[in-house]
Amino acid sequence: MAQTKQTRFNWRGFTSITTALSFLGLACTGVVLFFMPPGRIANWTGWTCAGLTKHQWGGLHIWFGILFAVICIIHAIYNWKCLLNYFKDKTRQHFALRWEWALALALCGLLLMGTIRDTTPFSTLLAWQESVKSSYDRLPAQAPIAHAELLTLDQLAKQIDGVEAAGLETNLEANSITLTSPEETIGELAQRYGKTPSEIYQLALGNTSTTQTHLGGQGRGGYGGGGGGQRFGQMTLKDFCEQAGLDMVTAMEKLNQAGCTASDSMTMRDIASTAGLHPSELRSLLE
């Protein structure tokens, strides 16, 4: 019986195939990164592409880049003699800068200088990418501040007029969402419950609707930790007194004693600014 010879592993073939596949992976992940939204939006809304998050796509791009760089070095070692021939004059067989290398160097130099100096057409492509990125800012669901998913409830409440950490936590508990500790961030809480930071924030405001709204506008929970209507800082003094059942004259007296300049048509934010206070301090004062 004829014995079949065991095929030896072809390292050159392996190197060539790996080079091609890593380049393909690098190119595909690069295209996704080119068009993906900024981190402040992608992380807040739970953006994914083909089931992968921005962080995962970025990680893949880095590792495909590392693999491509390493395998290219190995590929160059295997083909070192062939590579050196590109530096030699064909007739005299000694070192010479051939047109192929000169053109390659000129092309790379043009790309380098054109990008650094921000000249056309290099600047045009980058400007178009920025316009694509900025288009995500018009999406209905945005964080109240950049990278809000990295903040705790207490830190987030301090950044938003008329919102208190206790009210946010109460609304979350009403939806069976509890903090493991005061140091747990919005992002960590969202990951633990399989939600996006945007959804956690909406629930914290008291908005139980699954439809995400513009987070910079109106929402439930703006006053009183779960009711409807405007946010406290956007209310006029008259509106607040009517909703809270307060006497206007008494409210004005309390504000004046606190050093505030107030009228019934001024917003609570504007009134607070006249005395250097936070709007939430006015609510505590009036209530």
CA gap 218, 221 in Å, rounded: 9
Most confident range (mean pLDDT) of 47-51, 61-65, 164-168, 193-197 is 61-65
What number of CA atoms fall less than 13 Å from residue 208's CA on the CB side? 10
Give the per-residue pLDDT at 83. Answer: 77
Tell me the pLDDT tens digit for each residue of 17-68. Answer: 999 999 999 999 999 999 998 888 888 888 889 999 999 999 999 999 999 9
User: What rounded mean pLDDT belongs to the chain?
Assistant: 80
- 275 neighbors 260 (Cβ within 8 angstroms): yes
Residue 227 has pLDDT above 60, yes or no: no
- 180 neighbors 190 (Cβ within 8 angstroms): no
Give the per-residue pLDDT at 89. Answer: 65
Give the per-residue pLDDT at 274. Answer: 82
More confident residue, 209 or 128: 128
Instruction: Name the least confident of 16-25, 33-42, 93-102, 145-154.
Output: 93-102
Instruction: Name the least confident of 1-5, 32-36, 93-97, 146-150.
Output: 1-5
